[in-house]
Amino acid sequence: MAEPVSLRVNGAERPVDADPATPLLYVLRDHLGLKGTKYGCGVELCGTCSVILDGERAYACTTTLAEAAGRDVVTIEGIGTPEALHPLQKAFLDAHAYQCGYCTPGLIVAAKALLDRTPDPDEEAIRVALQDNLCRCGTHGRIIDAVRQAAREMAP
């Protein structure tokens, strides 16, 4: 049997005993019990599986365990807690930027990657950053409002 792969998720080293070709999405959900990252399309078309990989948004459905090994992975579980919401999570609640909520974790992760590199994005930058995240409920206007609110709250 092969050695477990060391994966750094949400700041903690986690040994994973899985085939290195396993999609990161399945490792997160099935091996590490992190259910916030969702399966949507499996081919990078919906953004539901978004994670942050070394500071950049990545698709967990097509990123393999081997590609993620030794890199920093941040999932929705690594962005705030129920007791201490991240400003993006609070803004999504305040703006009612969700309905069914299935796409929300991927949107928040993608928005966090944007705000980490561009603290004060304009509406166009937000639209571009989130254009690969699909929301079937049609809350796009409220999503943009939530990201703008979070950016204001996070400003120094």
CATH assignment of 87-154, among 3.30.70.1400, 3.40.50.300, 1.10.150.120, 1.20.1250.20: 1.10.150.120
- The Cα–Cα gap between 7 and 91 comes to 30
Indicate whether this model's pTM tops 0.85: yes
pLDDT digits (tens, 9 = 90+) for 30-59: 999 999 999 999 999 999 999 999 999 999
* CATH superfamily, domain at 5-78: Beta-grasp domain (3.10.20.30)
Closest CA to 44 of 55, 31, 57, 33: 57
Note the residue count of the chain.
156
Q: Which long-range contacts (CB under 8 A, 24 or more apart) does 121-130 make?
A: 121/147, 121/151, 123/148, 129/57, 130/47
Cβ proximity of 78 and 22 under 8 Å: no
pLDDT digits (tens, 9 = 90+) for 90-119: 999 999 999 999 999 999 999 999 999 999
